[in-house]
Chain A
Amino acid sequence: MTGVVLGLIAGIAFGYVITRVGATNPEKMARAHLMMEPAIPQFMLTAVAAAAIGLTGLVAVGRADLSPLPTSLVATGLAAVIFGVGWGLTGYCPGTTWAAVGEGRMDAVFALLGGLVGTAVFAHFHEAIIPVLYGPTNVGKITLMDALGDSRIAATVALVTVFGLGVWAIGKLWTRSYDA
């Protein structure tokens, strides 16, 4: 029960912020993908960098529950390609469909329904797919710390630097030059 209440509180806050910033608007997402408007990718990368700094602090005081996902070279990579096609086509990702449905977007209702069907189809074939695509190239729960002497601080600095440069570059490169 506590889990439900905490999940609802977090979900309402999360959905509220991503809607107010425009991440649930597929028009803005399309313009982000077409390099016409920098705000949404800058918002996403900055949120990751800021949360990474905060999480490193929480880990230092022993308050965070970490469980990074493993990397499967084939499954994670192939999934990312399929995901990118769906994201570029619709302007929605799984989380934003829920908030966009709440906001009253009818095209998001269909994205949500398609998502439920996609989930059911994957779940049906899970036992057949995972051993073939995920297992063989699963290199485990590797993190940036593995390359940086197991130092969480060094890895966080590296991540924040790269994401910060990304935010800067997006601000420079995402212009209205490709008008649609």
Chain B
Amino acid sequence: MPETDETAHPSEAEKRQQSARPREGAPYWPWFPSALALAGIILFVFVTHGPPASSSGFVSTMNGLIGVVAPDYVADKAHYTIIPGVGSWLMAFVVGMAAGGFLAGRISRSRPYDVPPIWTRRIGASRTKRYLATFVGGFLILFSARLAGGCTLGLFMSGSIQLAVSGLYFGVIIFAVAMLTARIVYANARGGSS
């Protein structure tokens, strides 16, 4: 497969191939066996730890970072005392996820885009704008996950697997609102691509 230039206008077939494959990398795994593999990993976590969670790892990390300069502050704040800190399973899990992503990227030889092509086509190629948007979005997903007590994994997936109403309630709304938001974000920001 020839190297595709981000600024070129790819044909429809190329666009499809781009979205289905990491750039210059191995094809993505099919979803069904991958889902069974993920379910196996989740069950391993339930047996060896408890319900898996990701957003709590952010709390453990911030606990460690802020604790360096203001140990009294973190010792005094409820949110940092409820969630285990540095050296916990929660923090090891998110650090492990970064390592897993690194390994997967190297083994599949993916060279990921810093700005997704669909964002470039609809909103523009500005890295600054994309990074500002992901910073704001990152703020929103973590602020809200900490309010709900969990995220896509720790509340929707872990909760639904345990048959909890909280996970299903959270899951229905996040999918609906994300779909609506994506329609607005990617709608015609540059007068359309056609």
Give me the interface of A with B, judged by CB distance under 8 Å. 3-22, 24-28, 30-31, 33-35, 37, 39-44, 46-48, 50-52, 54-55, 58, 63-72, 75-108, 110-124, 126-127, 129-130, 133-134, 141-146, 152, 155-156, 159, 163, 180
Contacts and interface: CB of A to CB of B under 8 A. Distances in A.
B31 to A, nearest CB: 4
A42 to B, nearest CB: 5
B45 A10 contact: yes
B101 A16 contact: yes
A25 B22 contact: yes
| Chain B facing A: main interface SS | helix
A79 B93 CA distance: 23
A112 B185 CA distance: 20
Given A107-B114, A122-B143, 8 more contacts: A6-B89, A26-B119, A93-B151, A94-B55, A102-B105, A114-B142, A127-B78, A144-B164
Interface in B34-73: 34-52, 54-55, 57-59, 61-62, 65-66
B22 A79 contact: no
A81 B177 contact: yes
B88 interface: yes
A73 to B, nearest CB: 8
A65 B98 CA distance: 26
Contact of A101 (B90, B92, B98): B98
A71 B169 CA distance: 8
Given A123-B79, A159-B160, A12 B100 contact: yes
Contact of B146 (A69, A123, A145, A180): A123
